[in-house]
Amino acid sequence: FQKHEFFVDMTCEGCSNAVTRVLQKLGGVSFDIDLPNKKVSIDSEHTVDTLLETLKKTGKNTSYLGEKSA
């Protein structure tokens, strides 16, 4: 799996819960949420586009930061 890193404008626990919800609904992902730094690292077979669209469902400002080396 490729590990991808995304910026998601999360300000609180509620925001990170929203991210968790949309990613779990998508399935086939394992992820870490770094709330203080507003980053989400995702391990997945899904394309970056799919992951980005999924994260955007939270209504938060989201952008792709790049691949993360293991």
Asked if residues 42 and 23 have their Cβ atoms less than 8 Å apart, the reply is: yes
Quick check: 15 and 60 in contact, CB under 8 A?
A: yes
**Cα Rg, the chain, nearest whole Å:** 11
Domain count, the chain: 1
State pLDDT tens for residues 44-56.
999 999 999 999 9
33: domain range?
A: 2-68
Overall average pLDDT of the 5-15 stretch:
97
Does the pTM surpass 0.95? The reply is no
Tokens standing for residue 29: 């992902």
- The type of residue at 61 is N
d(CA 30, CA 61): 21
Q: Which residues make beta-bridge pairs with 33?
A: 40
Q: CATH code at 8? A: 3.30.70.100
